[in-house]
């Protein structure tokens, strides 16, 4: 038999058609049988009178219609009961899926459209159950601390892919948060270690010289003044370290910026003039290369002054042998760039990658008594302004370059 013909014969349409046709045929036979029975019974004297009364008063046609409709409904319900039962099973299974129950009982198999729908529903329920189990396992993995767990997108299933993608993003964010927390903890520990070390050194010297003075172990007043002067110098270094540490932590704590419009050229011209006495002491002079027109930016003036003070102080401290301190100001697109250059001894290449790390000191910093926070403060100030700072150093000159956006995002206001 042709497969198409076989498929048609197995279809629901044919089953309902067969149920209808069979019901009509059986109903016709019933009606014909009733007619023959009535013809036979009317010949019996005992029953002829009641039958004649029914026929005369009600009529044979209404009686046959009632019998025909009742028989047709009864036979149609009988012939279609299996198909209706399977449709009810399918509806029940769909309700289970709607309620989140993927344990769908195996439906009655058949080769018609209902059987195909049932088979598809079985497969769908199995796939949904398998995928829900995978999602549950993945969530359990993440909940147990495996934040590197990721769902394979190749094994995703339709719209449920968005769920796995959301879980992957959640795991990534949790992993990033945990890493940030561990980094913050390490940063805090490093900060405490660095602060403890840097506070202990001058404090030990101060206590040592004060102990000598307290116990009168000096020879004369000259030695007394010498010891007290050393303690005073160490105390000032200690205060400078504490001030720098406070400034560094204050900037890094997310403090709001006091944004205002500033003329960057005018600010640096005024600031470098204040450094003239220090430049004279170092036998240096400055050269300022700036645009003729004001370069207006939006920034926190107080923080910028602190950043440029640190850069100028650093340039004077290490560039006195070069005699000049050069400052260049220019605009590139939506950014303002300031370069502070000195011509002293170059920074060793091994120090360059760490020059902006807090408490990092190359050999020159140790010899000059720096706190190790000045350039870290510069970097923090640049970053809170959405800018950056960099350094390059060669045999001829050392250049510190700070880049700042001209306009600040509204979130920083």
User: What are the DSSP calls for 62-109, one per residue?
Assistant: HHHHHHHHHHHHHHHHHHTHHHHHHHHHHHHHHHHHHTT---PPPPPP
Contacts of 259 (CB under 8 A, 6+ apart): 298, 299, 300, 408, 412, 413
Identify the CA nearest to 344 among candidates 365, 326, 319: 319
Model-level pTM?
0.53
Half-sphere exposure of residue 182: CA atoms within 13 angstroms, side-chain side: 5
CATH code for the structural domain at 257-412: 3.30.565.10
How far apart are alpha carbons 58 and 67 in whole angstroms? 13
Taking the chain (413 residues) in runs of 10, the rounded mean pLDDT of each run is: 50 77 86 75 64 63 79 84 78 74 64 72 74 78 76 63 77 81 72 69 83 84 86 82 74 76 92 91 92 89 90 90 91 92 90 80 47 81 90 91 79 46
Contacts of 165 (CB under 8 A, 6+ apart): 151, 153
Mapped onto helix, strand or coil, the DSSP state of residue 304 is helix
Burial of 7 (0-12, 13-18, 19+ CB in 10 A): middle
With contact defined as beta carbons under 8 Å apart, do 379 and 399 qualify? no
Contacts of 174 (CB under 8 A, 6+ apart): 142, 147
pLDDT, position 102: 67
Chain center to CA of 84: 51
pLDDT, position 369: 47
Q: What is 343-371 written as a DSSP string?
A: -SSPPPTTTGGGTTSTT---HHHHHHT--
Radius of gyration of the chain from its Cα atoms, rounded to whole angstroms:
47
Helices 60-79 and 12-41 meet at what angle, rounded to 10? 140
Tokens of 92: 């029940």
Domain boundaries of the chain, sorted by first residue? 3-127, 179-255, 257-412
Chain center to CA of 118: 41
Answer whether CATH 1.10.4080.10 is correct for domain 179-255.
no
pLDDT, position 105: 63
Can you point out the beta strands (E) in 234-382?
A: 259-263, 285-289, 296-300, 324-332, 335-342
């Amino acid at each position: 038999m042709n497969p198409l013909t076989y498929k048609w014969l197995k279809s629901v349409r044919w089953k309902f058609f067969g149920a209808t046709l069979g019901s009509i045929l059986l109903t016709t036979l019933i009606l014909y049988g009733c007619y023959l029975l009535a013809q036979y019974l009317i010949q019996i004297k005992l029953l002829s009178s009641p039958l004649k009364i029914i026929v005369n008063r009600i009529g044979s046609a209404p009686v046959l219609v009632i019998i025909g409709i009742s028989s047709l409904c009864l036979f149609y319900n009988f012939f279609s009961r299996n198909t209706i039962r399977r449709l009810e099973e399918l509806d029940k299974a769909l309700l289970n899926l709607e309620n989140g129950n993927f344990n769908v009982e195996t439906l009655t198999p058949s080769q018609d459209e209902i059987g195909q729908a049932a088979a598809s529903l079985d497969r769908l329920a199995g796939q949904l159950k398998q995928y829900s189990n995978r999602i549950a396992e993945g969530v359990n993995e993440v909940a147990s601390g495996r934040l590197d767990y990721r769902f394979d997108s190749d094994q995703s299933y339709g719209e449920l892919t968005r769920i796995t993608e959301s879980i992957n993003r959640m795991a990534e964010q949790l992993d990033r948060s945990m890493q940030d927390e561990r980094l913050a903890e390490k940063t805090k520990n490093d900060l405490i270690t660095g602060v403890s070390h840097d506070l202990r050194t001058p404090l030990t010297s101060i206590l040592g010289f004060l102990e000598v003075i307290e116990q009168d172990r000096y020879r004369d007043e000259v030695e007394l003044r010498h010891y007290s002067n050393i303690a005073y110098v160490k105390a000032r270094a200690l205060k400078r370290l504490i001030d720098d540490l406070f400034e560094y932590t204050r900037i890094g704590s997310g403090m709001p910026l006091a944004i205002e419009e500033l003329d960057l050229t005018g600010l640096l011209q005024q600031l470098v003039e204040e450094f003239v006495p220090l430049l004279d002491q170092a036998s240096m002079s400055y050269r300022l290369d700036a645009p003729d027109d004001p370069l207006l930016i939006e920034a926190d003036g107080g923080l910028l002054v602190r950043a440029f003070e640190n850069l100028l102080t650093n340039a004077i401290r290490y560039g006195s042998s070069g005699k000049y301190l050069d400052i260049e100001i220019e605009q590139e697109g939506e950014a303002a760039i300031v370069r502070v250059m000195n011509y002293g001894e170059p920074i060793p290449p091994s120090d360059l990658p760490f020059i902006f790390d807090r408490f990092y000191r190359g050999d020159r910093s140790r010899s000059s008594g720096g706190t190790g926070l000045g350039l870290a403060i510069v970097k923090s100030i640049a970053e809170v302004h959405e800018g950056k700072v960099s350094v390059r150093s060669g045999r001829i000159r050392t250049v510190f370059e700070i880049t700042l956006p001209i306009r600040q995002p509204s979130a920083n206001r």
